[in-house]
Amino acid sequence: MSVLLEFAIFPTDKGDSVSKQVSQVIELIRESGISYQLTAMGTLIETDALPEALALVNRCYDVLAEDSERVYTTMTIDIQKNKHNRLKTKVEAIENKIGKVNK
């Protein structure tokens, strides 16, 4: 099974720039060993099971909640049975048709 979860999470009470807080979240994700891809508007993760993905999002919330009164989160989830490594293969499928997509 492949669970792709795209999410954005940030505190709303820290002013215009929240890169300090988001960096803490990304560090936690990196150290988790879970496959991820950081984008300008959020982060994609891939796990083998939904509870594992949701647990990581919860841990990210816990990091921010320690020092924030309000945390905003959005999530999109795509679950497909009998698939793996879709974080990479979905991009490769497009690149096989049109070439590199990242500059």
Where does the pLDDT of residue 103 fall: very low under 50, low under 70, confident under 90, or very high at 90 and above? Answer: confident
Count of CA atoms in the C-beta half-sphere (13 A) of 96:
6
Please write the tens of the pLDDT for every residue from 20-66: 999 999 999 999 999 999 999 999 999 999 999 999 999 999 999 99
Enumerate the H helices of 2-100 as residue ranges: 19-32, 50-65, 86-98
pLDDT at 102: 83
**Strands 35-38, 43-47: parallel, antiparallel or unpaired by DSSP?**
antiparallel
Q: Is residue 67 part of a domain?
A: yes
For the full predicted model, state whether its pTM sits above 0.85: yes
* Residue-number span of the structural domain to which 44 is assigned: 2-98
Task: Check which CATH number belongs to the domain holding 66 and give it.
Answer: 3.30.70.930
Torsion angle of C-alpha atoms 93, 94, 97, 102, degrees rounded to 10 = -130
Q: Is residue 103 part of a domain?
A: no
